Amino acid sequence: MKRIAIVVITAGLVFGTSAVADAAPPTYKNCDAMHVDYPHGVGKKNATDKTSGKKVTSFTVNNKIYAANTKSDRDKDGIACEKA
């Protein structure tokens, strides 16, 4: 009688929780520090840049990171450290 080994591969699926998923969102000292990771800033979903110049639409949408860095949203438009 032959033995057959069955291997199940689940690509891209994660079961349980990980320390990374549970980690607090990063906070940044200033916009220069944020721009290293997010060159155009971070905003909450449905935020619209309010500026007299060209509107920034290329910011990263992430509600948790934005909430941790609202101090960097000086014009209170829902986008921290927006930059074209």
Full domain range(s) for residue 55: 25-80
Whether 75 maps to a domain, the answer reads yes
Whether 8 maps to a domain, the answer reads no
Domain count for the chain: 1
For residue range 20-31, list pLDDT tens digits in order: 567 899 999 999
Whether 30 maps to a domain, the answer reads yes
Kindly write down the DSSP assignment for every residue of 52-78, as one continuous string.
SSSPP--SEE-HHHHHHTGGG-TT-SS
3-state secondary structure 13-55: CCCCCCHHHHCCCCCCCCHHHHHHHCCCCEECCCCCCCCCCCC
For residues 46 and 52, give the distance between their C-alpha atoms in angstroms, rounded to a whole number: 19
Whether 29 maps to a domain, the answer reads yes
Whether 17 maps to a domain, the answer reads no
Whether 43 maps to a domain, the answer reads yes
For residue range 5-58, list pLDDT tens digits in order: 565 555 554 445 555 567 899 999 999 999 999 999 999 999 999 876 788 999
Whether 4 maps to a domain, the answer reads no
Whether 19 maps to a domain, the answer reads no
pLDDT of residue 7: 52
For residues 80 and 18, give the distance between their C-alpha atoms in angstroms, rounded to a whole number: 27
